[in-house]
Structure formats: C-alpha cells, structure tokens
Amino acid sequence: MAVTTEPIGEDIVAFRLDGRLNMVSAPALRSAVVSALAEGRSKVVIDLAEVTFMDSAGLGALIACLKTARQVGGDVRISAPSEQVSMVLSLSNVDRILVPYESVEAAYRD
C-alpha cells in the first residue's frame, strides 16, 4: 500500500492510501498518523478512495489512529471509502464512529 501525505493548512493532514489496508500495511498507516500528530497536525483525514481491500487489521488501524488522535485533542475522519471498505465499515458498525465524508475537502469543512 502506498501512503501519500498532504498537509492542508496548519493543523490538517490528509493521508491518501492506495492499495490494500491489511495486516502488512496497517502499521505504516498508524506510524504515519502518529508522526503527523507529533508534528502538531491534530486533524487527520484518511482518504480511502483507492483502497481496494481492507481487513480487520486495517479496521483496527483506523480505530487506533482515531484513539491516538483523540488522546492528544485531535480527530480522525475518513473520506470516500471504496465499496469493499464501506461494506467492512458497515458490517462492523465502525461507520457510526468514523462517519465517511464524500471527499478530503468535505471532512473538515465544518
């Protein structure tokens, strides 16, 4: 999985993922989010539009990122999940905690 980091303003960072978010790639996402939070970017958007597959490890990584961000006064939002990712989020009821936004831009529009 490829992770592209895109700073937006002073306190927002977007991570655009491409590929499979699974047991192999999940630690890289968690590490990238922790680094961004340590740099003072407290608002994180994880773009899932190009994620072709997500398993329970990927789901766990999203939840861990959210928990870590909230511990430092930040937040994590997700955008544009693919059909397979949406199904995993829905079946696990995580879509109630991490409500998907239509785009990275829409995630922190409020």
Confidence of residue 13 (pLDDT cuts 50, 70, 90): very high
d(CA 39, CA 98): 23
The CATH label, of 3.30.750.24, 1.10.1580.10, 3.30.300.280, 3.40.190.10, for the domain at 2-107 is 3.30.750.24
Question: pLDDT per residue over 31-51, tens digit each?
Answer: 999 999 999 999 999 999 999
1 contact partners, CB below 8 Å, separation of at least 6: 17, 18, 19, 20, 21, 22, 24, 25, 28, 29, 51
Confidence (pTM): 0.95
